[in-house]
Chain A
């Protein structure tokens, strides 16, 4: 319902967020040096992936621990497509999204009729399985045959609008905004209403005639699609990919940081992307060992699960809302 006060406030917040993001896309890139451009680019890409994890967690209460593996699937498909066909990057990106969506659905399939815990188990096994598979096959780099492995890698060129790092950061940010738009649209249309009902109670949803399995699968598909887009952008940025980028531990970490950043708002996913890629770089600048970042993130996850279910973003947004309210109501 659009006409409720909360709905309108939400819309206004959404618009404000979009406006802020567009200003940031215009202003921020020239301010960064080359290292931080790369770091921010990586953060934006994983923000897109985190949007998928967050969608499943916040809207359906599902825990997916294979998101980075699905990013790897997207990257593999993008490279495979480009080396085989030379189509424009955008088309390859869409194909990568579609394939990752399909894989995401297949991974979720065994858990569809079982409850939450089994999905976490299966996705974790899928993440570990992907790690083994891709370590064995590696990513296509211009060789012959289906797997396309050559001794000397041929780099896939950057997309047309992203030749410099600065342009690529803008390009990825625009794609990220489109992805946020996709999620917002899904939430405000039929699937979103079905998800809300499923989240409240599966029994209610079934009684109301909602096809629970179908809409859960749809959630997996969108999450997989977002992972595929992120994978394509990663491949487009670097030109080649390496199996060591997509271990199971990264999938676990991305999920953990989705909860820490806040799964319930787009701001949370931006924070997740920053925590995932920018925070380790920042700690490194300060001379803190990167492994301790792991420990901090673990503490963050426990803290978020036990006391702050809305994550950092929830605490920020709550703070802002409290500031806006008249003093007498605080």
Chain B
């Protein structure tokens, strides 16, 4: 009994974590907290669902989902985000809400509210662990999250473009003065984050349900995971996402709070923020 909820929670938590990692990588490099992240994934998942309905082979659906999210992310990052490059972080974040509304409106226009199911072939695979059968999708999600977080960490630490990304993250103005090709480095970040958004969107579509609104607003719990990592640390984001996911799922077993368990991410993140600022004073030099 506990095993079922633990495994379910672990998979959801992994997706929160991976979304959080996508948000953090982008935020660190470009200063944009992409609130359209969920909408990008939703676009991918809905397209995959549609292709599945039209009986296209599954790899096509996968590729389309990843491609459309990556493309949308790139288009925003290349053509709209630079116009707000010198505004406060909160304005940059709010602008992505505009992008999210555009995507959501269009998705809801094409895919009217209806019960749908997206089933990928990984659902048919499975293995037994802790006395429960775990579907291949859940295994894939957890493995992919761990591997991708590790991969991105290595990418940031070992490659040249990763180095440039870290340079932008720590001192934007100085980095650009020293000749970091800001446009190209930022575009890379938008591409990586878009790809992650597409993958998580597709997986959320499979594990939750392919519904534009629901998938779009999954960015909020993902953001909670990113807040746990203080929008900086990938490993803390990973841990935060996993803990939130497992706690949320296990809360199903505690009867009086079961109906409110989806609020877990917000409670965790808010408590953490309160704790983080306990000794802080508003000072002149602080940053967001």
Contact = CB atoms under 8 A, between A and B. Distances in A.
Contacts of B174: none
A171 interface: no
Interface stretch (A3-11, A30-38, A107-115, A161-169): A107-115
Given A110-B274, A117-B93, A125-B269, A292 B80 contact: no
Given A110-B270, A129-B266, A291-B108, A121 B223 contact: yes
A292 B288 contact: no
B263 A117 contact: no
Contacts of B89: 115-117
A115 B93 CA distance: 13
A253 B83 contact: no
Contacts of A126: 266
A19 interface: no
Contacts of A300: 98
B95 interface: yes
Contacts of B143: none
A159 to B, nearest CB: 33
Interface string A93-132: 0000000000000000111111111111110111011001
B277 interface: yes
- Majority SS of interface residues in chain B? helix
Given A256-B101, A302-B98, A115 B288 contact: yes
B94 A133 contact: no
A295 B106 contact: yes
Interface in B84-128: 84, 87-91, 93-95, 97-106, 108-109
Interface in A301-330: 301-302, 305-306
B106 A132 contact: no
Nearest to B282: A113
A301 B98 CA distance: 5
B287 interface: yes
Contact of A121 (B33, B99, B286): B33
B255 interface: no
A272 B262 CA distance: 31
B217 A249 contact: yes
Contact of A116 (B88, B101, B266, B274): B88
B266 A110 contact: no
Contact of B263 (A129, A203, A213): A129
Contacts of B274: 109-110
A298 B101 contact: yes
Contacts of A202: 282, 284
Contacts of A206: 282, 284
A17 interface: no
Interface residues of B, number: 51
A28 B217 CA distance: 39
A136 interface: yes
A252 interface: yes
A297 B260 contact: no
Interface string B257-272: 0011011011101100
A interface, over-half SS: helix
Interface string A193-204: 000000000110
Contacts of A132: 260, 262-263
Given A113-B282, A116-B288, A124-B220, A295 B263 contact: no
A100 B105 CA distance: 30
Interface string B20-51: 00000000000001010000000000000000
Interface in B150-181: none
A104 B34 CA distance: 25
Nearest to B39: A298
Nearest to B33: A117
> Which among A63, A213, A293 has the greatest number of chain B C-beta atoms within 10 A?
A63
B105 A298 contact: yes
Contact of B90 (A116, A133, A299): A116
A222 B227 CA distance: 27
A294 interface: yes
B187 interface: no
A296 interface: yes
Nearest to A260: B98
A291 B103 CA distance: 10
B79 to A, nearest CB: 11
Contacts of B267: 129
B202 interface: no
Contacts of A61: 88, 90
Interface in A21-73: 61, 63, 65
A293 B273 contact: no
B221 to A, nearest CB: 8
Contact of B93 (A120, A129, A295, A306): A120
25 contacts: A63-B93, A65-B97, A109-B274, A110-B270, A111-B273, A115-B288, A116-B88, A116-B90, A117-B88, A117-B93, A120-B94, A125-B224, A128-B263, A129-B266, A132-B260, A132-B262, A202-B282, A289-B109, A298-B100, A300-B98, A301-B101, A302-B95, A302-B98, A305-B95, A306-B80
The 4 closest A-B pairs by CB, nearest first: A298-B101, A294-B105, A295-B105, A301-B98
Interface of B: 33, 35, 80, 83-84, 87-91, 93-95, 97-106, 108-109, 213, 217, 220-221, 223-224, 227, 259-260, 262-263, 265-267, 269-270, 273-274, 277, 280-282, 284, 286-288
